[in-house]
Structure formats: C-alpha cells, structure tokens
Structure 1
Amino acid sequence: MARPRKPLLSRDRIVETARALVDSEGLDAVSTRRLAAELGVSGPSLYNHFRNKDEILEAVADTVSAKVDLSMFDAADGRDWRRALHDWALSYRAALTEHPHIVPVLARGPGRRPAGLRVADAVFGAMVRAGWPPAQATYIGALMRYFVTGSALGSFARGFVDDETAYDPADYPHLGQAHLLADHQEKVDEGAFETGLRALLDGLGVQYEAGRYASERAGSGAGGFATVRPAPKLP
C-alpha cells in the first residue's frame, strides 16, 4: 500500500485542533484522549509530538502570541515609545479577545514559548532604546501584560444581568441602567480599555519626563537647569 503523501499527524494539526477546542469549549475540554478522538488517531501517538497536555496548551498559547503585531517596536519604525506601546497594546488585546479561553495560560508569562519571548524582547528592547533604565523597562513590560491580559479575562459589561428588576434602586441607587450594559458590550469594554490605556501611558509619560529631568539636571551641575520637553500626546 502506498504511503500517504502527508503524515497523518503533526504538531501543527494537534495545535490547530486543540486551539479549536479551547476556543469553542474552554481549557477543560482539552485532554489527550479528546484530542486523539478529534484527530482520529490513538492517544499514544500524540506523545510523539508533545509530552503532555500542558505542552499542547503552551503551544496553543504561543500561536496566539504570534498574532501580536510587533512592527511598531522596530528601530526604523519611527513611532515614539508611547505611541508604540499604545498601538501594540491594541494589537495584543485584539489577539487575546479573539481567543479568550487561552488567556489564563498566557497570563502565566512566556516561559519558553518562542513567540511569547519575542514579544517580551521587543517591548523591553524598545523601552531601553527610548531611554528607560533596564529595571523600569522590565516593570513596564510586566505592567502592560497585567493590564492587557486582565482586560481580556472577562467583560465588565457582561458582568451585569439584563433584567431591569435585578437592581432595586433602594439598594443600588446608581445602577438603574446597569441592565443595559450587556447590549453595549463592545463599546463599553473597548472604551474602558482605551481610557485605562491612555491613563496608564500618561502616567508613564510623567515618570519618564521626571526621570529625564533628574538625569539632565544632575549632568549639568548643582546649579544647572534642564528644560524638559512635554511628553508626546496621543491623538
């Protein structure tokens, strides 16, 4: 009998199938037995490609990290550090909201995942090039991960039921319209994310200018004075 042109099983097929299961049913739906059944193979054959389920989920998470745009961190791109962080955060959140069930795995950090490590490397390198001290660049990378992954773990708008009788004004005088939030999930959640992101970047801008002022003043002598340019504003 002629051998098939393509192997019956591959890492990519396993990962694609696992990602589809995670997207449709959540992390608990993934098991080696379930994957083998979905792929039409025997369970032990999966172990030729992955040691266990955790490795499969790590690989799924890395395919999501690979969707994040990093072009804004290229040295030749021309965007200042604030605009680069802003645009990257939007791409990062878009990738996570497309695959929300894998976010708990991504939230653990990049570990050994190649795409996840490229993300961390790009952010850190861009912040250091912009003039942030390495320690602060590390904090910024961590801060952005906390903020973006946290925003993707759930929906604020869908945290309220759509029953207008659920929030008695006698008990919750300011939640009279809360039952309407779920109907405007995308607008509410995206607006909240953008508001928080701009506030975060404004705060970093203040720290950046304060740090540069201290550095320039120290370099100019005890009686010197350094003019500080305002942080660039996002449109």
Structure 2
Amino acid sequence: MRTEKPTSMSVWTRPSRQRRDQPALSREQIVAEALALLDAEGLEALSMRKLGTRLNAGATSLYTHVSNKDEIIELVVDRVYGEIDVPVPASASHEDWRAAALGFGENVREVLLRHIWIASVLGELGMANLGPNMMRLTEDMLALFETRGFDLESCDIAVKTIWGYVIGIATTEAAYLTTLARSGRDEQAWMETVRPAVETAVRPYPRVRAMYELEPRRDVQDARQGYFQVGLNCILDGLEARLPG
C-alpha cells in the first residue's frame, strides 16, 4: 500500500528543495520584490504571475523556492519582523527597563503601520513563529524581560501579553489606515468629514456621547499614539506588579 507524504503547512516546516544548478532567482530577490509589491499595491495585487513579471522571470522560476503564494507571504512577514528592534536597557533599573520596554512596543507598532497590508494576514499565519527573524525577535524580547528580573516562565507570559496588545492595536489601526488610503484623503480631513455622522450616532447613548464630548479635537495621529502609550504603560504596570518584592 502506497503512503502519501503529508502536505507541508508552512514554508518553515517543509524540507528545503535541493537543486544542482544555480537558480536564476534567489529567495532574497523574491522576498524583496514581493514586499515592494505588497507595500505599493496591497495584498490583493500579489500573485505568482505578477511577481514573476516584476522579476522578469516566469512564475515557474518562483517554485524553485516556494510552493505557493502563501509561502511567499510567510517569508515576507518574517522579513518585516526583521525590521523590529528590541532596545537593550542601559541597566536593570525600573527607569531604564521601562524606557526599553516602551521603545520596543512603539517599534513594533511603527513597523506594522509601515506595512499596513499585514493586518490582513497576521491571524492566518499559524507557523510565523518559526521564521528566523521571529525567532531572533522572541529571544531578544525574553532577554529584555529577564533583565528586569522576570523568570523565564514570567518572561514568556509578559512577551505574549505585550505582543498580543501591540499586534491587536496595530492591526486595527492598519485596517483603518487602509480604508483611509482608499478614500484619497488625509486623516484629519477624513475625521472632520465623518464627525457629523459620529455625533448623530452617539446621540442616543449618554455615556458614549459624554466620552466623545470629552475628547479634545486634537490631531488624530497624536491621539492614536497617545492611546497606544497609555495602554502599553498600563500593561507594563501590571507586569511589574507581579515581580517578587
């Protein structure tokens, strides 16, 4: 009885393909061009055929390195993770560690908002944690919390908590910015346009209306940044409170 080989679920879990001759394209070239295409035109524009055309190669040339479009996305997402920097605190003091932890969270958000298409795929990449850049990032994040005195298990909890918060916020922002880009307006102009509709929508709800009226009409980008920082500080407060002593 013939046994079929199981289908790989990820580019990170299947064996590398071996070739005797030198392929015309490198994996790095494919990933760099795919990233440029995604940043310029969004996720809907990515296809094996279009990517091959941009690389002046047939789509079949891409299959030397990847099995399908999903594997390209996995590789590109790991490339994006490689742009994230984890600051090293100058000391284990509360002040130095806190500045590094806040800097890390802001770096993640900044990178994800630089590539807003990523909001559409992060929830579908179950094996993204196996990529080399994500592995390096995880190691550096664990080291950051270890510096403050967290044991390894607590480091893992802290990293997952911070990562979950930042990814959640950045994904929501990226989806909003995608809609904004499609409108052809800048963010401040967009908010002024929708303000009458918002005021009408909140009118029947006294608490929501009061909250909205308390919000100063400041620059919306500054407001998003401020909300993010407040939330991140609250999480760090809670994590530090778990430290012994």
**What is the TM-score when the length of structure 2 is the normalising length?**
0.70
State which drifts further: 56-65 or 127-136.
127-136
CA distance, structure 1, for counterparts of residue 147 and residue 91 of structure 2:
12
Label 1:140 to 1:39 Cα distance change in 2 as closer, same or farther (>3 A): same
Find 1:198's aligned residue among 233, 236, 240: 233
Partner residue in 2 for 1:92: 108
Q: Does the CA-based 8 Å contact 1:18-1:56 persist in structure 2?
A: yes
Task: Kindly indicate whether structure 1 or structure 2 has the higher relative contact order, using CA contacts under 8 Å at least 6 residues apart.
Answer: 2
- Structure-to-structure mapping, 1:1-235, within 5 angstroms: 9-72=25-88, 77-78=90-91, 80=93, 81-106=97-122, 108=125, 110-155=128-173, 162-166=193-197, 167-168=199-200, 170-172=203-205, 174=209, 184-208=219-243, 212-213=244-245
Q: Does the CA-based 8 Å contact 2:119-2:171 persist in structure 1?
A: yes
Q: Does the CA-based 8 Å contact 1:123-1:141 persist in structure 2?
A: yes
The Cα shift of 1:62 comes to 1.5
Q: Does the CA-based 8 Å contact 2:86-2:104 persist in structure 1?
A: yes
Q: Does the CA-based 8 Å contact 1:72-1:88 persist in structure 2?
A: no
Q: Does the CA-based 8 Å contact 2:49-2:59 persist in structure 1?
A: yes
Q: Does the CA-based 8 Å contact 1:21-1:29 persist in structure 2?
A: yes
Q: Which amino acid aligns with 2:86?
A: L
Q: Does the CA-based 8 Å contact 1:62-1:114 persist in structure 2?
A: yes
- How many positions carry a matched residue from both structures? 200
Q: Does the CA-based 8 Å contact 2:119-2:172 persist in structure 1?
A: no
The Cα shift of 1:57 comes to 0.9
Q: Does the CA-based 8 Å contact 2:85-2:107 persist in structure 1?
A: yes
Q: Which amino acid aligns with 1:15?
A: V
**What is the TM-score when the length of structure 1 is the normalising length?**
0.72
Q: What RMSD in Å do the two structures reach over aligned CA positions? A: 3.1
Structure 2 residue runs of 5 or longer lacking an equivalent are 1-22, 181-189
Q: Does the CA-based 8 Å contact 1:72-1:87 persist in structure 2?
A: no
State which drifts further: 45-54 or 120-129.
120-129
Deviations 1:60-117 (A, max 9, x none): 11221111112416xxx42543332111111111111111212454454643211111
- Bigger radius of gyration among the two: 1
SS at match of 2:172: coil
Structure 1 residue runs of 5 or longer lacking an equivalent are 1-6, 214-235
Q: Which amino acid aligns with 1:98?
A: R
Label 1:78 to 1:199 Cα distance change in 2 as closer, same or farther (>3 A): same
SS at match of 1:40: coil
CA distance, structure 1, for counterparts of residue 92 and residue 38 of structure 2:
35
The Cα shift of 1:148 comes to 1.0
CA distance, structure 1, for counterparts of residue 203 and residue 108 of structure 2:
41
